[in-house]
């Protein structure tokens, strides 16, 4: 993989592994959403996975490799805002491996509860994701546990299986809008687009309150920026990985920034037009799609990456003023 991206055979093999635990998720064209956007809009529903988010695919592939190649590992440690942690907890438990997950203080109450129920030993430490990550790496060194990063080629290959389902089912999309946190989702989309030889443009979407990835792509090197989004915690990246930045530099058409008001509006739109619940990070792609009209073309798509939003937060978002 000289490009840093998995090839089609590798993604298909990963899909066979993923399907032992979950079926493919659906992609639908939603008429109300299409009318609103003035284009044919397709949504890939990763909120329908067993953990309500796309990350589970990467966790399953990573843990299968770990079990085969390093059977001596009995404990893994990672850092997360929630969906990656749920993925690792479920996949580790399936393989009989202990998982320790570090989350920042004030993290989603319901995501924390879900991770614990999936088998994770949860530690709350640090003011943001980066601080939680640094604490997790200290635990790895001190205890000689196995470190699971948030961005890794195996995680990328796993989440690319969702892109393979999407672009194989709807190959004639002009543009796909993909939220960017640490970058595995958009990297997987780029890998599949290239492997299938499609002309689809891929547009990354970040929170304007967590702009590190966009700044890094613009500069051609990793730039660290504060992550202050109040609603899209799943994309609250303060410091991206160089490998992800390089892939997006080569493969994405451009990057858009959306603010918290646009993300909240997109969450309301998903509920009004499709009756799906989207967490903030899960609605970032749609927020970018709606902001970009009509530049994206006549047939566009996005990924509803996760639906794991705390009840009180979602209730507040639904009650916020603004057009739906």
Residue 28, domain CATH: 3.40.50.1100
CB neighbour list of residue 35: distance below 8 Å, 6 or more residues apart: none
Final residue of a structural domain among 114, 147, 180: 147
**Same domain, yes or no: 241 and 296:** yes
Quote the pLDDT of residue 322.
67
CA distances from 50 to 21, 57, 272, 305 (A): 8, 10, 24, 13
**Same domain, yes or no: 139 and 219:** no
Quote the pLDDT of residue 197.
97
Quote the pLDDT of residue 203.
98
Quote the pLDDT of residue 2.
45
Please identify every stretch of the chain with a pLDDT value under 50, giving residue numbers as ranges: 1-2
Q: How many domains does the chain have?
A: 2
**Same domain, yes or no: 312 and 180:** yes
Strands 40-45 and 27-29: antiparallel
**Same domain, yes or no: 44 and 188:** yes
Task: Name the pTM for this structure.
Answer: 0.94
**Same domain, yes or no: 47 and 83:** no
Final residue of a structural domain among 103, 131, 147: 147
Instruction: State how far the Cα of 31 lies from the Cα of 321, in Å rounded to an integer.
Output: 24
**Same domain, yes or no: 285 and 157:** yes
Domain residues for 204? 8-54+153-319
**Same domain, yes or no: 39 and 180:** yes
Tell me whether residue 1 is in a domain.
no
**Same domain, yes or no: 42 and 68:** no
**Same domain, yes or no: 115 and 206:** no
């Amino acid at each position: 993989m000289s490009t840093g991206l998995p090839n089609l055979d590798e993604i298909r093999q990963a899909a066979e592994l993923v399907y032992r635990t979950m079926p493919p998720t659906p992609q639908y064209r939603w008429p109300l959403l299409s009318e609103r956007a003035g284009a044919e809009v397709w949504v890939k529903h990763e909120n329908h996975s067993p953990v309500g988010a796309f990350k589970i695919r990467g966790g399953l592939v990573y843990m299968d490799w770990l079990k085969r190649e390093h059977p001596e590992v009995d404990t893994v440690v990672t850092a997360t805002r929630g969906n990656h942690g749920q993925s690792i907890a479920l996949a580790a438990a399936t393989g009989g491996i202990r998982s320790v997950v570090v989350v920042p203080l004030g993290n989603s109450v319901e995501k924390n509860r879900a991770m614990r129920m999936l088998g994770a030993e949860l530690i709350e430490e640090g003011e943001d994701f980066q601080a939680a990550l640094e604490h997790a790496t200290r635990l790895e060194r001190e205890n000689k546990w196995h470190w699971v990063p948030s961005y890794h080629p195996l995680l990328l290959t796993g989440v690319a299986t969702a892109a393979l389902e999407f672009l194989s089912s709807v190959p004639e999309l002009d543009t796909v809008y993909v939220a960017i946190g640490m970058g595995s989702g958009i990297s997987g989309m780029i890998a599949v687009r290239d492997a299938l030889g499609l002309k689809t443009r891929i547009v990354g979407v970040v929170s304007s309150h967590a702009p590190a990835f966009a700044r890094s792509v613009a500069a051609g090197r990793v730039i660290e920026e504060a992550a202050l989004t109040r609603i899209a915690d799943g994309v609250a990246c303060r410091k991206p990985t160089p490998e992800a930045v390089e892939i997006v530099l080569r493969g994405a058409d451009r990057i858009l920034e959306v603010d918290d008001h646009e993300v909240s509006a997109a969450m309301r739109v998903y509920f009004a037009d499709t009756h799906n619940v989207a967490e903030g990070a899960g609605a970032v792609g749609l927020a970018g799609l709606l902001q970009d009209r009509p530049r994206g073309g006549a047939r566009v798509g996005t990924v509803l990456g996760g639906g794991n939003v705390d009840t009180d937060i979602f209730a507040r978002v639904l009650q916020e003023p603004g057009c739906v």
